[in-house]
Amino acid sequence: MLDTRYRVEIPGGIKLEAQVVGPIPRFFAFAIDLVIRGILLFVLSLLSIPFGAFGLGGGFFLILLFLIEWFYPVLFEVFNRGQTPGKKVLGISVINDDLTPVTLGTSMVRNLLRTVDFLPLFYLTGLIAMVSNRRFQRLGDMAAGTLVISVRESARAAAVGNIVPLAPATTLLRAEQTSIIEFLHRSKQLSEPRQHELASILDGITHQKHENGVDRLHRIGAWFLGVR
């Protein structure tokens, strides 16, 4: 059987796993976003009518078309945990290939290269690229180092619960962010002494000991997961 699980090991011997998704759910997510973008353009085209009296209607509409076409997916992916509305409906999300949240730079790269994936006809190149590799990456994903994975909302809710998120006091490396997120997810599988032991390793980040250190890591992990 085809194994669609993606595994990565981060410093400290921690292994993370995600379920990559293929072309079909990504196509339906794209179709939903396409409809939403069409509705936005229709509404904004009505708003651009007054500019026609000054000879600016066409130019104003083209600017809106450019902004929506290129920045609609980027803004959602960066500020909505890697999910456009279409991806959220399908339960999928864009992440970096080290399983950290996408950044503005990686999202820009993967979306700007949609033009290449579109060629020669309606994402034919992107489809061929996706079915030719086990990670189902189109060319934009390969260039940006991103993946599209299945998001299990029930699992996420169980892991995060009612934790109040807390932004870290200092900027953390991707490996550190991923370690904290994994600690949050796996805490229920660990004994309290083991949690305290692991939290003590990161006391330089939390500045807390024992139970307070564990709680601080949970809150920071929730913040990295996008809980606000």
Cβ–Cβ < 8 Å for 113, 143: yes
Q: Is the pTM of this model over 0.85?
A: no
Residue 146: phi and psi, rounded to 5, are -125, 160
Residue 134: closest CA among 29, 15, 2, 28: 2
The residue from 150, 182, 215 where one domain ends is: 150
Q: Which residue has the tokens 């692991």?
A: 198
Domains in the chain: how many in total?
2
Q: Which class for 208: exposed (0-12), middle (13-18), buried (19 or more C-beta within 10 A)?
A: middle
At 182, which helix (H) or strand (E)? helix 174-186
In a domain, 228, yes or no: no
Say if residue 64 is in the same domain as residue 123. Answer: yes
- Residue after which a domain boundary falls, among 150, 177, 198: 150
Per-residue confidence of the chain (228 residues) as pLDDT tens digits?
Answer: 455 778 777 655 556 678 899 999 999 999 999 999 999 888 887 877 766 655 555 677 788 888 888 889 999 999 988 999 999 999 999 999 888 889 999 999 999 998 898 888 778 898 999 999 989 999 999 999 999 998 864 444 445 667 888 888 888 887 788 888 878 877 776 777 778 888 888 777 787 777 788 888 888 888 887 776
Phi (first) and psi of residue 54, to 5 degrees: -105, 10
Rounded to the nearest 5 degrees, what angle is found at the Cα of 81, between the Cα atoms of 110 and 147?
Answer: 40
Task: Count Cα atoms within 13 angstroms, Cβ side, for 31.
Answer: 7
**Residue labelled with tokens 């996420």:** 156
What's the distance, CA 5 to chain centroid? Answer: 17
101 and 174 share one domain: no
What stretches of 80-219 adopt beta strand conformation (E)? 92-96, 146-150
107 and 187 fall within a common domain: no
